Amino acid sequence: MSAPTALPAWKKLSAHKERIGGSGLPGLVVDEPDRFSKFSVRADGILYDYSRQNIDSEVLADLLALAEQQNLPTWRGRLYGGDPVNVTEKRAALHMALRTQPGDRWEVGGVSVTEDVIAERMRAYAFAEAIRTGALRGSTGARFTDVVELGIGGSHLGPALACDALAAFSDHATRVHFVSNADGADLARTLAHCRPEATLFIAASKTFTTQETLLNARTARAWLESALGEGQFAKHFAAATAAPDRAEAFGIPREHVFRLWEWVGGRFSLWSAVGLPAMVALGRKHFDELLAGARDIDVHFRDAPLAENIPVLMALVGIWNRNFCGATSHAILPYAEALWLLPTYLQQLVMESLGKCVDRDNAHIDYKAAPVVWGMQGTSGQHAFYQLLHQGSDTIGVDFIGYREAIEGDPQHHPVVLANLVAQAEALLVGSQNPDAYRSCAGGRASSVLVFDRLDPRNLGRLIALYEHQVFVQSVIWNLNAFDQWGVELGKQLGKPLLTELTGGERAEHDPATAGLVDYLLK
């Protein structure tokens, strides 16, 4: 692969930005009465509307040419073929296989993984159902009323999002909690609502060495043993990991250990046994729908022409805004209270995958990659930071996400939500003029809108998979590896000797600033 800046399409896009800058976005829209139909795509009950982007037909053509020139179809084939697209760790990134159905075939290194994935999914479903029905019980014979997932990052955010977003589809027979922080207050606040004899912990860690997860797991084990007796915790623990021997060494029975694969990255692992808390909360039927929705998008991304491919278009619009329009950040604005965790989930997905300045060829890049991702659910965000969107000095990418139907609450509220979504997109586009400059909003601020029929398990699966594939497309265009995270590893490595120091151990050599801070903390 090559740096995208060397490609003919990149150079043409740079010229387009100068050309379009004169007319501005409102002018583009006024000049094209059929703009909505030209710059929106429908697929699988989804509308992706990018008609309010600062794009015309020539820009779109060259964005699509950029994808072709950077060999996106070839890289997509490598991704789906189980090739080691995670080049630094020499691994496949085949999270799509976790959504597999009988009759599909997914291979890693020429070996089918379909049968293993389905078999492990059935094990997890059976375990979750045993919890839901009371067939699986704790050491005293009490039924489990609470399940506490211990994980962090990708082992935490996906299932937490699914459980919260789909709470309306849960029977709430078993309460599901999530603990990620090493700060003991996180676990303590959760355990205050649980009874040891009726609580099951799920430790989710790919390596089963994650410091925060193991710290919380040891504390949870001690909490159980103090109430139930030494050695009585085993029936109250399960694990999702690619290191089953370590989970067993911790004391978790093998029949409670569920498998991950090395070709599954943490931030793409919701669809595996990491999703066990969501299986407990939602049941097999709804989790199957979640998987089916993601699989819908896997098929769409694989088969749809680039010009009609929603994740491809989302990615290209993001690249246009980041590299040619100067966007420094990207706001995720779901107009659904149930999706309040979505911006946090996408922060990790995007910034851990694309927050890099060295490309696949081990060379430093000379162009911008991942924007800062942030956001909040509408309409709450309108009273928090939309002032910046309308009158701030930065260029910010915006995705509005909405649903045509309400799923919970008073249905009279939903038209208000939809009206606000459309009004904010329109306000960013057209702005307003006032004799007092401080009252004026310039307009011409771009946004995209994703609309689904309803917020249900299938559409949540579709939504998450759209962004997964968008990240992959952008990694190809930017020539980055989306599936490693070496910057995360550095902090972990430095934390180990510092923990020794802060707990009375031998002092290590540090830079003067760090040494001074350690001295202060040890006083």
Using pLDDT thresholds of 50, 70 and 90, give the confidence band for residue 22.
low
Annotated catalytic residue, options 120, 197, 352, 468: 352
Mean pLDDT over 85-97 rounds to 97
Does residue 388 have a pLDDT over 70? yes
What distance in Å separates the CA atoms of residue 272 and residue 267, rounded to the nearest whole number? 11
At residue 29, the pLDDT reads 80
Catalytic residue among 90, 285, 383, 523: 383
Cα of first residue to Cα of last residue in the chain, in angstroms, is: 53
State the pLDDT confidence band at 352, using cuts at 50, 70 and 90.
very high
Is the model's pLDDT at 23 over the cut of 80?
no
User: What's residue 302's pLDDT?
Assistant: 98
What is the CATH T-level fold of the domain 4-69+304-477, as seen in this structure?
A: Rossmann fold (3.40.50)
Q: Which of the four pLDDT bands, split at 50, 70 and 90, describes residue 21?
A: low
pTM for the complete prediction?
A: 0.96
Q: Identical fold at 4-69+304-477 and 95-281?
A: yes
pLDDT band at 165 (very low <50, low <70, confident <90, very high): very high
The three-point CA angle 425-431-436 to 5° equals 150
Catalytic residue among 11, 193, 413, 492: 492
Q: What share of the chain is helix, strand, coil (3-state, %, to 5)?
A: 55, 15, 35
* Residue 510 annotated among the catalytic residues of the structure: no
Residue 61 has pLDDT above 60, yes or no: yes
Q: How far apart are CA 287 and CA 457, in angstroms?
A: 7
Rg for the chain (alpha carbons), in Å? 24
Q: What is the pLDDT of residue 408?
A: 73
What pLDDT score does 37 carry?
Answer: 95
Mean pLDDT across the stretch 149-168?
96
Domain extent listing, the chain: 4-69+304-477, 95-281, 489-522
206 is catalytic: no
Per-residue pLDDT band at 32 (split at 50, 70, 90): confident
pLDDT, mean of residues 234-257: 97
Contact at 8 Å (CB) between 63 and 320? yes
Q: Given this model, what pLDDT does residue 24 score?
A: 67
Per-residue pLDDT, 1: 60
User: Going by C-beta distance under 8 Å and a sequence separation of 6 or more, which residues neighbour residue 482?
Assistant: 93, 353, 354, 471, 472, 474, 475
Q: What mean pLDDT comes out for the span 321-344? A: 97
Would you say residue 340 has pLDDT above 70? yes
Measured distance CA(146)–CA(165) in Å, rounded: 19
Q: Which helix (H) or strand (E) holds 42?
A: strand 40-43
pLDDT at 459 over 80: yes
CA distance linking residue 358 with residue 365, whole number of Å: 6
Q: What is the mean pLDDT of residues 272-298?
A: 98
Is 383 tagged catalytic? yes
**110-120: average pLDDT:** 96
DSSP letters of 163-197?
HHHTGGG---SSEEEEE--SSHHHHHHHHTT--GG
3-state SS, residue 405: coil
Q: To which CATH superfamily is domain 95-281 assigned?
A: Glucose-6-phosphate isomerase like protein; domain 1 (3.40.50.10490)
Q: What is the rounded average pLDDT for all residues in the chain?
A: 95
Confidence of residue 452 (pLDDT cuts 50, 70, 90): very high
